[in-house]
Amino acid sequence: MERKYADIIIDISHEKLDKTFQYVVPERLWEKVEAGTCVLVPFGKGNRLRKGYVASIGRQAAYAPEKLKEIADVEENAISAEERYIALAAWMKEQYGSTLIAALKTVLPIKQKVKKLERKSCRLLLDAGAAEELLRNCEAKRQTAKARLLKELIRAGELPMPLITGKLHISSQTVKSLEGQGALEVLSESSYRNPVRITDHAEDARMEAYKRKKRLNGEQQAAADGILADFEAGRRDTCLIHGITGSGKTEVYLEIIEGMIKRGRQAIVLIPEIALTYQTLLRFYVRFGDRVSVMNSTLSQGEKYDQCERAKKGEIDVMIGPRSALFTPFSRLGVIIIDEEHESTYKSESMPKYHARETAEKIASMQDAVVVLGSATPSLEAYYRAKNGKYKLYELKQRQPGKELPSVSTVDLREELRQGNRSIFSRKLKGLLEERLEKGEQSILFLNRRGYAGFVSCRSCGYVMKCPHCDVSLSEHAGGKLVCHYCGYTRPGVEKCPECGSKYILGFRAGTQQIEEAVHREFPKARVLRMDADSTRTKDSYEEILNSFANGEADILLGTQMIVKGHDFPDVTLVGILAADLSLHVNDYRAGERTFQLLTQAAGRAGRGKNPGEVVIQTYDPGHYSIVHAANQDYLGFYEEEIMYREMLLYPPAAHMLAILTASPVEEEGMRLAEKIGGLLKESGGDLHVIGPAAASVGKIQDIYRFMIYVKHKDGGRLVEVKNAVEAFLEKRQEMGEAGKETVQFDFDPLRSY
């Protein structure tokens, strides 16, 4: 007789998710019970009925079947926060292919015992006369630190500790010593951590600027009003705000959030981690004060959990953060805003490989909220849907008066070479840089590439230095050492080609360090700041570099793509893009889109202040449509050309694509499984476009071999069916004891190449 068994989660808390209990699914419930279903099961002493959630269903009993209990019933009317998580996780499991447990771990806040945060301050204990006397005493003894602290305490009475040890540069020893003399006491008060640490910067001039509420221009007002009116009328279509760089999208978000709060609703604002700077936070904080919180990777697990608790209790109305802030447990959610929606960081790199845009739409539909997307360079996906009437489109086409878009010119580097200019700067860019240095204005140089140099190859025989564990070339770093960017493998540089012995084995020198040296050579007086993955290893260094550039401590900011993300530097009047086409030469159907986005965003950094901006795009491929349309700042022109190509080749968004990655430490086993899956797909219907299996473009990472199959179809639902069929096949293989060490991952509409 056929039987079904269910693995059930009884306790929905993060650390107990891995503990499941097996039950028999009685035949009368077969139709109703699936992964994610809320059921009632006898549990513990006396077999009291408890709620549980189905993690997975199988046909194998893990114990003697006669010892297993039966599921009593299905709980039909479940709607608590926990149930919402389960429903969402079940949807993610189905949509993206992962276990329910992995999906639950993604959506549930990690519970962790947290030490309550102590907020310390100092209070003066002496009366005015005694304090003055002590102060004179300290001054006479030249105890300057003590004197400084006393002076401030006499003025203020009480001061927060971070101010004393920070701004006033007074050591805790000095505080202790005065405490010992009975002059002051240290108070401490515990509270929830509020990661928006704004108080230390209260006098910040920028804060004053943000405090003045802006009068929205016509386009901004129309967008905010339209979105709120639709919400009021019960319409919940996703909205796309396509606003050129600097058009004031953030002001529109603030207006929408204010409208939501007035209606008793809450807001989640997703911002790419890299753009989530102090400056950005400040704009939300001055508007909504303590009702705002932030979630980002610099927070500890405990701090993150605190923020979720505050959200659950309704202590905050606005949560700002990267992708994972999507799962903030608000109970009155009104809007999810996704800023810079085209960013690839909105797609998860680990299972389940969910996209924030689609997941936000799912969450919004579950909670009667609306999704608002914003970008200067919308993803093809979002714009395609706007064009097809699935999304509502709002356009912001103007910057503030006097801050118009910069003028852009393109320079053909092949022509420069023909004219005998071997420098990395074209004559035009060099001239404009000199002008800026003379006038004391700032410039940005953008290089679309990481590290000191690219791969190291032999000029005699063509041999390329590769990582022995991963199938990728090694990058040359400062000091000549060679590094693998996949696994971190490092080795010293080589003097002779291991293959032919030639000494002409060299790095392809076009990294940021190389360019920094070139800038120093050509402009010896310029003050240069460099920002790339190597100069921003530590938590705060990224923000430090941005701040010192914003404060005018350098003339030129040189960096990789991290400098183009939504920063506002009013004194920048020149942006130079050094080798615009580098990002075109990657083996990925999105290369054109990514190049257009990078160039447009980089160009948008110029001319945000009182002086107009100029942009120079240097390229070996000036006729490429991504470069031509970026130079003209013509999104629509780019979109039309790009979508034609996607339609012709059936790439997303014109069709959907499922990448199936099979990996194994044993090459033949991985290949055999990939071939079996490929055969299964070819049998399952002629409507599928199957590509592969073939070795992935990075065929080996950390000694694990990788094989790819791509499946394309117009209908995304059909691809979910395909995934389910592959999952069923793998499960059966497991049950038959045929599975080895292979793993299989799914990626729907992948944003990366494998």
Q: Which residues contact ligand ADP (rule: CB under 6 A)?
A: 214-217, 220, 243, 245-251, 400, 568
Answer whether 410's CB lies under 8 Å from 617's CB: yes
- How long, in residues, is the chain? 754
Four-residue CA torsion sign, 730, 732, 734, 737:
negative
Q: Report which of 380, 332, 379, 295 is spatially closest to residue 109, judged by C-alpha positions.
A: 295
Please say which residue, 142 or 215, places its beta carbon nearer to ligand ADP.
215
| 113, interface contact from Zn ion, ligand ADP, none, CB < 5-8 Å by kind | none
Please say which residue, 655 or 701, places its beta carbon nearer to Zn ion.
701
Please say which residue, 401 or 524, places its beta carbon nearer to ligand ADP.
401
Alpha-carbon dihedral angle through residues 751, 752, 753, 754, given to the nearest 10 degrees? -120
Q: How far is CA 80 from CA 315, 332, 337, in A?
A: 19, 13, 24
In the complex, what is the shortest distance from the CB of residue 492 to Zn ion, in angstroms, rounded to a whole number?
A: 16
Taking the C-alpha atoms of residue 428 and residue 578, their distance in angstroms, rounded to an integer, is 12
Please say which residue, 282 or 472, places its beta carbon nearer to ligand ADP.
282
Taking the C-alpha atoms of residue 202 and residue 200, their distance in angstroms, rounded to an integer, is 6
Q: With H, G, I as helix, E, B as strand and everything else as coil, classify residue 446.
A: strand
Please say which residue, 192 or 508, places its beta carbon nearer to Zn ion.
508
Answer whether 383's CB lies under 8 Å from 588's CB: no
Taking the C-alpha atoms of residue 456 and residue 474, their distance in angstroms, rounded to an integer, is 7
| 471, interface contact from Zn ion, ligand ADP, none, CB < 5-8 Å by kind | none
Contact residues toward Zn ion (CB under 5 A) are: 458, 460-461, 463, 467, 469-470, 484, 486-487, 489, 497, 499-500, 502
Please say which residue, 282 or 704, places its beta carbon nearer to ligand ADP.
282
Taking the C-alpha atoms of residue 710 and residue 704, their distance in angstroms, rounded to an integer, is 20
| 120, interface contact from Zn ion, ligand ADP, none, CB < 5-8 Å by kind | none
Please say which residue, 443 or 475, places its beta carbon nearer to Zn ion.
475
Answer whether 71's CB lies under 8 Å from 25's CB: yes
In the complex, what is the shortest distance from the CB of residue 674 to ligand ADP, in angstroms, rounded to a whole number?
A: 44
Answer whether 248's CB lies under 8 Å from 215's CB: no
Which run of H or E residues covers position 396? strand 392-396
Taking the C-alpha atoms of residue 513 and residue 453, their distance in angstroms, rounded to an integer, is 8
Taking the C-alpha atoms of residue 403 and residue 609, their distance in angstroms, rounded to an integer, is 6
In the complex, what is the shortest distance from the CB of residue 217 to ligand ADP, in angstroms, rounded to a whole number?
A: 5
Q: How far is CA 19 from CA 7, 47, 79, in A?
A: 9, 18, 23
Please say which residue, 177 or 460, places its beta carbon nearer to Zn ion.
460
Residue carrying structure tokens 């050591």: 171
Pairing of strands 704-713, 656-664: antiparallel
In the complex, what is the shortest distance from the CB of residue 248 to ligand ADP, in angstroms, rounded to a whole number?
A: 3
Q: Report which of 475, 425, 396 is spatially closest to residue 220, judged by C-alpha positions.
A: 396
Taking the C-alpha atoms of residue 61 and residue 51, their distance in angstroms, rounded to an integer, is 21
In the complex, what is the shortest distance from the CB of residue 405 to ligand ADP, in angstroms, rounded to a whole number?
A: 12
| 243, interface contact from ligand ADP, Zn ion, none, CB < 5-8 Å by kind | ligand ADP
**What's the gap between Cα 715 and its chain centre?**
28
In the complex, what is the shortest distance from the CB of residue 374 to ligand ADP, in angstroms, rounded to a whole number?
A: 7
Taking the C-alpha atoms of residue 386 and residue 240, their distance in angstroms, rounded to an integer, is 7
- Backbone torsion region of residue 169, taken as left when φ is above 0, otherwise alpha when ψ lies between -120 and 50, otherwise beta: left
| 467, interface contact from Zn ion, ligand ADP, none, CB < 5-8 Å by kind | Zn ion
| 119, interface contact from Zn ion, ligand ADP, none, CB < 5-8 Å by kind | none
| 220, interface contact from Zn ion, ligand ADP, none, CB < 5-8 Å by kind | ligand ADP
Q: How far is CA 107 from CA 110, 421, 660, in A?
A: 9, 55, 23
Please say which residue, 215 or 439, places its beta carbon nearer to ligand ADP.
215
Please say which residue, 404 or 434, places its beta carbon nearer to ligand ADP.
404
Answer whether 24's CB lies under 8 Å from 3's CB: yes
Please say which residue, 251 or 273, places its beta carbon nearer to ligand ADP.
251
| 216, interface contact from Zn ion, ligand ADP, none, CB < 5-8 Å by kind | ligand ADP
| 490, interface contact from ligand ADP, Zn ion, none, CB < 5-8 Å by kind | none
Please say which residue, 464 or 691, places its beta carbon nearer to Zn ion.
464
Please say which residue, 248 or 352, places its beta carbon nearer to ligand ADP.
248
Report which residue's Cβ sits closest to ligand ADP. Answer: 248
Residues 6+ apart with CB under 8 A from 68: 5, 22, 23, 24, 61
Please say which residue, 251 or 358, places its beta carbon nearer to ligand ADP.
251
Q: What does the DSSP assignment read for 565-587? A: SS---TTEEEEEES-GGGGGGSS
Tokens encoding 188: 């401490």
Please say which residue, 458 or 616, places its beta carbon nearer to Zn ion.
458
Taking the C-alpha atoms of residue 590 and residue 749, their distance in angstroms, rounded to an integer, is 11
| 214, interface contact from ligand ADP, Zn ion, none, CB < 5-8 Å by kind | ligand ADP
Please say which residue, 59 or 503, places its beta carbon nearer to Zn ion.
503
Residues 6+ apart with CB under 8 A from 263: 231, 232, 334
DSSP alpha helix (H) spans, 127-204? 128-140, 144-156, 161-165, 172-180
| 489, interface contact from Zn ion, ligand ADP, none, CB < 5-8 Å by kind | Zn ion
| 190, interface contact from ligand ADP, Zn ion, none, CB < 5-8 Å by kind | none
Taking the C-alpha atoms of residue 460 and residue 454, their distance in angstroms, rounded to an integer, is 18
**What's the gap between Cα 390 and its chain centre?**
25
Taking the C-alpha atoms of residue 360 and residue 363, their distance in angstroms, rounded to an integer, is 5
In the complex, what is the shortest distance from the CB of residue 571 to ligand ADP, in angstroms, rounded to a whole number?
A: 13
| 463, interface contact from Zn ion, ligand ADP, none, CB < 5-8 Å by kind | Zn ion
